[in-house]
Amino acid sequence: MSEPTKPDTSRLKLLQVLEPSGGGSGRHFLDLCKALQERGHDVTAVYSPLRAEARFVEELQGLGLSEVLSVDMRRAVGPWDAKALLAIRRIIKCHGPFDIVHGHSSKAGALTRLRFPGPHVPRVYTPHAFRTMDPTLGPKGRLVYGMVEGLLGRTFSDRIICVSGNEYDHGLSLGIPAETLRVVVNGVATPPENRVHEMRARLGVSDDAFVFGFIGRLSPQKAPERLIAAFERIAPRFPLSHLVIIGFGELEATIRAMITSAGLSDRVTLSADVAGSEAIQAFDALVTPSRYEAMSYVMLEAAAAGKPLILSDVGGAGTVLEHGINGCLIPNTDNPAPLAEAMLSFANLETRRRLEAGALSRRGRYGLDKMVEETLQVYQDLLSERPLAIASQKDARTDVADGLAFR
């Protein structure tokens, strides 16, 4: 018996699908799509315009991908999901055949993995934090989301890419088989650092201020209200400190009200008009008081920029932070005291210099190329298990090129 045909993975036709465009999942999506296309692969990107940031759409459309398509995907579960599912199914049928369909975050992950009978295209899913990792999720929500993630993971997923060991362990706890799970830690391009003065001026921050920076959605997961409560405590004792918050979200009105009520309007800058990767150069330290994470892109970008970190003890924090070496790891609590204490420690010049030196010594560990190569390896390993199916897809693609009606 002859050996099965080994698939040609030198040029893959890939479908990448994302619902939310903000935060780390949006950055990951853009970086991955761009890098895969630059490596000679054929990338079709699908996004939802319903929550898309204009900056994300502009950057995505400027990447030079094979195709950029939009499908209305809502964050909430509802009857509208049937329409989105059919739209993604049409894209797979009419714009394929694809070698891999890769869904990012929970909604796109579910819509890309649910499928009708017929030829199977391998499905890959990157949760960017399983919904069940949220400690504020009630018992009923944890049960329902856990059942859904477990079912999709066991039955409809060829591979699930976790972005940290914490997320991998959580996937196992949901009953997802270990052979389905892989760990690929996020990677980032080195943030710019040549416009510090210009960026501080744009954010309304003086050059002699010590800037605590926050980047992320203003949402319960990211817990920006914890940061305001802590900064209110330290502001009188650390006169040179300034807080910069980059982001927007459902808690924006609450955060603005907290800033005003605390009398901190001249000490806090809140903006959504600056890209987080650009803003980092204006920071002296990054503060991320999240309630849960899988592997925050912001943590990685700040670490790659050599910035000290103050992080709550959540998924991925241990990947970038050694407590007392390049920052402070604090308890994951709504009590503002530990966060305030960590922030106030930077008022001590000796402590500040030690943590800054530790951060600079670790800055080269979080490259984008490694993440892309490891993701491609996941694809290639998966396709090597399906040589006959892949060969037939290549044949179908050749038929299309020859002008035959493949629909």
Pair 172, 24 in one domain: yes
Domain-embedded: residue 144:
yes
Residues 74 and 119 in one domain: yes
Rounded Cα–Cα distance for residues 73 and 278 (Å): 29
Residue 260 and residue 342 in one domain: yes
Q: What is the CATH number of the domain that holds 209?
A: 3.40.50.2000
Domains held by the chain: number:
2
Inside any domain, residue 283: yes
Q: Under a CB-based contact definition with an 8 Å cutoff, are residues 28 and 129 in contact?
A: no
Asked if residue 218 and residue 149 are part of one domain, the reply reads no
Q: Which of 190, 277, 204, 205 is nearest to 241 (CA)?
A: 205
In this structure, the answer to whether residues 244 and 130 fall within a common structural domain is no
This prediction has a pTM of: 0.73
Residue of 190, 191, 188 lying closest to 369 (CA atoms) = 188
Range of the domain at 214: 196-361
56: which 2 tokens?
């994300």
Q: Do residues 389 and 316 both lie within one domain?
A: no
269 and 179 in a single domain? The answer is no
The CA-atom distances, in angstroms, between 152 and each of 9, 78, 110, 147, 243 are: 26, 18, 7, 9, 41
Q: Tell whether 5 is covered by a domain.
A: no
- Rounded to whole angstroms, how far apart are CA atoms 316 and 226? 19
Do 348 and 265 reside in the same domain of the chain? yes
Q: Are residues 349 and 280 in the same domain?
A: yes
Is residue 406 in some structural domain? Answer: no
Residue 216 belongs to a domain: yes
Q: CA end-to-end span of the chain, whole Å?
A: 33
- 323 is a domain residue: yes
Inter-axis angle of helices 23-38 and 54-61, to 10 degrees? 10
pLDDT by residue for the chain (407 residues), tens only, comes to: 455 556 667 899 999 999 987 777 888 999 999 999 999 999 999 999 998 888 899 999 999 999 999 999 998 889 999 999 999 999 999 998 999 999 999 999 999 999 765 668 999 999 998 989 888 788 998 999 999 999 999 999 999 999 888 899 999 999 999 999 999 988 888 788 889 999 999 999 999 999 999 999 999 999 999 999 999 999 999 999 999 999 999 999 999 999 999 999 999 999 999 988 899 999 999 999 999 887 888 998 999 999 999 999 998 898 899 999 999 999 999 999 999 999 999 999 999 999 999 999 998 788 889 899 999 999 999 999 865 444 444 444 433 333 333 33
Q: Is residue 1 part of a domain?
A: no
Identify whether residues 276 and 390 lie together within a single domain.
no
Same domain, 307 and 371: no
What values do phi and psi take at 287, rounded to 5? -120, 125
The label of the residue with tokens 């079709």 reads 44
Nearest-CA neighbor of 164 among 141, 188, 137, 187?
A: 187
- 349 plus 387 within the same structural domain: no
Q: In this structure, is residue 328 part of a structural domain?
A: yes
